[in-house]
Structure 1
Amino acid sequence: MITSLFFLAILLVGVPIGICLCLAGVVFILNSGSTVLFQSFPLQMFAGVDSYGLIAIPLFILIGEIMNSGGITRRLVDLAMAFIGSVKGGLAYVNILANMMVSSIIGSATAQVAIMSQVMVPEMEKQGYDKTFAAGLTVYGGMLGPIIPPSVMFVVYSVLAQVAVSDMLIAGIIPGILLTLLFFLVIACMGFFYDYPRSEYRTLRQRARTALSASPTLLIPIVIVGSILGGFANPTEAAAVGAVAAALVGRYVTKEFHFGHLPRILLRSAMYSAIVLFLVAAAAVFSWLLIYGKVPQAVAAWIQTVAHDPVTFLLLTNVILLVIGTVIDGIPGLIMTVPILLPIATEVYGIDPRHFGVVAVINLVLGLMSPPVGLSFFVASAVTGAKPGKMFIVTLPFFIISCVALVVLSLFPSLSLGLIK
């Protein structure tokens, strides 16, 4: 109890989550009287990051930085516009489709929202869309980032759950496509009530020329996802090749990336990677102490009095994780909940850990779009100037359909596991 109160107190005053986890561990050891545990503290932190699969995280982050610097994002948007054509509300569809393409490279919801808000919102506003709707739609498009591979959150979950990184990345493909199609459906339904403008008309020749000039940018996701699906490379190797592909495309195809940019790009990638990996190291200590304190067993005993079957457990988990996701970012949310909930899911209810991982990640990402915090809305607001509260209200149908998708994914594990060999 003392440890929990201390953890909540320092979290609420704004102490970074990684430091909160470490300090809470120190308080737990002091409170337990087993000070000999301090000898294992640094060893547990080192063991948490002593994983080959974690090398993929800085590489995926590096790919996103190179892609942004090389103008590849803008060309993927042009490619999406060539596919959609001049239909009513076409730029809204383009927003989601472009986010799906970009998510296959960036893999981070907040980073994707920041990048795509700069690209899509001014263009949609220029064509007559309400800025608040355009920004809110971009936020939900960014939800695809941690779901469609590559995904930093899936890599972190793989390490926490001790499952293959490639399995988790593949498990996100069908859910990501399902969410994209459901977002298309919402746009089509909203089009009956709102007079969305049509996209600028382009002839077939113009669209073909745009697609031809932008298509080399697809080499990056093809290299990453294709090599993993085809069994030619593991996620870490695929990420390394993807980084080289991004640099070559940015330098020799888009001609906007210069090797002189690399020091700045490497520094930004290293800083973000250090934050993520420190969180993983702190999580190792947190998980170790939870097991030592028999917290999972106590939570399991309580949950079994409420949930009597796997479906009920998953629906209850959806509610718990969604609430946690509204106030805590995705990776820290995983770090705090997976060590407690995963053993219950697998050992008590027999749920596949990969299926549970997909449900958990989508829940926590959806929390980024939910009050009272809604971090992704604040990111979009900082870039576009739109009000976060208004964004949530205007795009409420997307939140509802995302919750429906979560229930469907909870009921049908094959949607997550169908592509895994």
Structure 2
Amino acid sequence: MGASFFVMVSGLLTVGLPIFVALTLAVFIGLHLENGTPLMLIIQRMFSGLDSFPLMAIPLFILAGNLMSTGGLSQRILRVAMLLVGPMRGGLAMTTVTGSMFFGAISGSSPATVVSIGRMMLPTMTEQGYDKKFTLGLLMATGALGIIIPPSIFMIVYGAVAGVSIGALFMAGIGAGLVYGAVFFGYCWYRARRDGLEPRPWPGLGELLAAVREAIWGLAIPVLILGGIYGGVFTPTEAAAVAVAYAAFVGLFVYRELDLASLWKVCVDSAVITAQVMIIISAAAAFSWYLTSTGITETIAGGLLALSDSPWTLLLLINVVVLIAGMFLDPNSIVIILVPLIVNVARAVGIDLVHLGVILCVNCAIGMFTPPFGMNLFVASGLGNVRYSEAVRGALPLVWLAMLALLIVNVFPEISLWLPRTVVSGM
């Protein structure tokens, strides 16, 4: 039963049906073949899958990220990053990494990070002698930090599906994001030294302080969001609402780069993105319910546990499966389809579900720039006005670097778990 059902789902995806159609249609066919099961259950399960308070954070964080990008916050933050690390050997490349980490902390979206940072850094790095393929690859790889550094839409979806604290996931993502960024910092320094790129002059403390003063409204956003969550002032969903109000205020009245026309466009664009995410979540809720109610989830869990009861062996298997899935599916689809299948297995062998969430997050971040269907590949090729094949050649060497960061996060769970265990009692 389980094997034939997944063959059917794979076939529907292979013929090019949208993910939400493929999942819903598979459940419809499965229920239709079972006598006495009302098909209305599909609609009920789709709506109940969206009836979740934590999921309300998704449209709000999407809107907040778009407001910050359009309202001028990202440009000012990137200038601070450039003044901080730009004078170092390989400083421009390091600025791309730093800027992606900063912007990831306010957007929660990988493609949005690539576009926002790439618009400014791609021409600058190319003019300063950096190879264009390397520059595009670095933008794609570090743009993936948008779903690792909190607040992360991926972590919100994972937390809702797996029943894990979103606040704890956000804290765990900080350590993983810093490790991921540190790996690329080291490579940027090595690459610059190999290519004979010299350090640039230090612009002076005064210029740095002036840039920080100009960007202080943007730099305060991660402190406001994460500090409010960890301090118990508001929930992640309430934090998203605060971020929207704050970003709109700064864009309209402080930097004055937002007007009513651009505000309306940002709202429309955010609504479209939200609809795309939510319809997949609703379809996946019905899909997950079907897997559970028919016993397919338990069958798969039992099969995996029969292979091995070693946490390391099962983690290796999970990493391989998610890395392959990331080549073809977006992160939210992956977490919704796979988490119901593996969460019981992870729990049975003692894998911490917060640590598992971070591992899946880093895997999916790598999938964002892995051929053939990594979203960042298409975004970067359009941004750099290059062929898709050139974007792939730029990304492939950096996939291995990202996998090194993934290995470190897997082998050393405390990187992810130290902060949430320190702050959250009982973890």
Question: Aligning the two structures, in what range does the TM-score lie when normalised by the shorter sequence?
Answer: over 0.9
1:294, 1:37 → 2: CA distance?
18
1:275, 1:199 → 2: CA distance?
44
Within 5 A, what are the aligned runs for 1:112-191?
Answer: 112-191=113-192
1:377·1:388 contact (CA, 8 Å) conserved in 2?
A: yes
Instruction: Identify unmatched segments of 5+ residues in structure 2.
Output: none
2:137·2:398 contact (CA, 8 Å) conserved in 1?
A: no
> What residue in structure 2 maps to residue 414 of structure 1?
414
Tell which deviates more after alignment, 110-119 or 77-86. Answer: 110-119
- Return closer, same or farther for 1:10/1:395 CA change in 2, 3 Å cut-off: closer
Structure 1 outlier segments of 4+, above 6 Å: none
1:418 CA drift (Å): 1.4
Within 5 A, what are the aligned runs for 1:67-146?
Answer: 67-146=68-147
> What residue in structure 2 maps to residue 354 of structure 1?
354
Alignment length (residue pairs): 419
SS, match of residue 149 in structure 2:
coil
SS, match of residue 96 in structure 1:
helix
> What residue in structure 2 maps to residue 16 of structure 1?
18
2:78·2:117 contact (CA, 8 Å) conserved in 1?
A: no
2:358·2:416 contact (CA, 8 Å) conserved in 1?
A: yes
- The residue identity in structure 1 corresponding to 2:116 is I
1:255 CA drift (Å): 2.0
Within 5 A, what are the aligned runs for 1:336-347?
Answer: 336-346=337-347
1:103·1:144 contact (CA, 8 Å) conserved in 2?
A: yes
Within 5 A, what are the aligned runs for 1:8-47?
Answer: 8-31=10-33, 33-47=34-48
2:57·2:240 contact (CA, 8 Å) conserved in 1?
A: yes
1:372 CA drift (Å): 2.8
- The residue identity in structure 2 corresponding to 1:307 is S
Within 5 A, what are the aligned runs for 1:325-344?
Answer: 325-344=326-345
> What residue in structure 1 maps to residue 371 of structure 2?
371
1:384 CA drift (Å): 0.9
1:42, 1:118 → 2: CA distance?
42
> What residue in structure 2 maps to residue 209 of structure 1?
210
Tell which deviates more after alignment, 189-198 or 95-104. Answer: 189-198
1:132·1:387 contact (CA, 8 Å) conserved in 2?
A: no
Tell which deviates more after alignment, 399-408 or 53-62. Answer: 399-408
Percent identical: 34
Instruction: Identify unmatched segments of 5+ residues in structure 1.
Output: none
- The residue identity in structure 2 corresponding to 1:73 is S
Tell which deviates more after alignment, 141-150 or 260-269. Answer: 260-269
Deviations 1:23-77 (A, max 9, x none): 111111123x234241322211111011111111011001111112111111111
> What residue in structure 2 maps to residue 230 of structure 1?
231
1:221·1:242 contact (CA, 8 Å) conserved in 2?
A: no
Scaled by the length of structure 1, the TM-score of the pair is: 0.94
1:84·1:90 contact (CA, 8 Å) conserved in 2?
A: yes
1:318 CA drift (Å): 0.5
1:141 CA drift (Å): 1.2
Aligned pair 1:398/2:398, yes or no? yes
RMSD over aligned CA atoms reads 1.8
- The residue identity in structure 2 corresponding to 1:4 is F
1:364, 1:389 → 2: CA distance?
21
Deviations 1:259-299 (A, max 9, x none): 44322221111111111111111111001111122222222
> What residue in structure 1 maps to residue 268 of structure 2?
267
Within 5 A, what are the aligned runs for 1:373-388?
Answer: 373-388=373-388
1:396 CA drift (Å): 4.3
1:85·1:199 contact (CA, 8 Å) conserved in 2?
A: yes
- The residue identity in structure 1 corresponding to 2:213 is L
2:342, 2:81 → 1: CA distance?
39
- The residue identity in structure 1 corresponding to 2:228 is S
Aligned pair 1:300/2:301, yes or no? yes
1:225, 1:141 → 2: CA distance?
21
Deviations 1:291-313 (A, max 9, x none): 12222222223222433311111
Deviations 1:76-133 (A, max 9, x none): 1101012114122111000000000000111111222233222221221122222221
1:153 CA drift (Å): 0.6
2:86·2:94 contact (CA, 8 Å) conserved in 1?
A: no
1:404 CA drift (Å): 2.1
2:41, 2:100 → 1: CA distance?
43
2:114, 2:35 → 1: CA distance?
45
SS, match of residue 335 in structure 2:
helix
1:270, 1:419 → 2: CA distance?
34
- The residue identity in structure 2 corresponding to 1:284 is A
Deviations 1:339-374 (A, max 9, x none): 11111111x212121111111121122112222333
1:106·1:150 contact (CA, 8 Å) conserved in 2?
A: yes
1:262, 1:248 → 2: CA distance?
11
1:57, 1:79 → 2: CA distance?
28
1:201 CA drift (Å): 5.0
1:236 CA drift (Å): 0.9
2:136·2:395 contact (CA, 8 Å) conserved in 1?
A: no
2:50·2:278 contact (CA, 8 Å) conserved in 1?
A: yes
1:80·1:94 contact (CA, 8 Å) conserved in 2?
A: yes
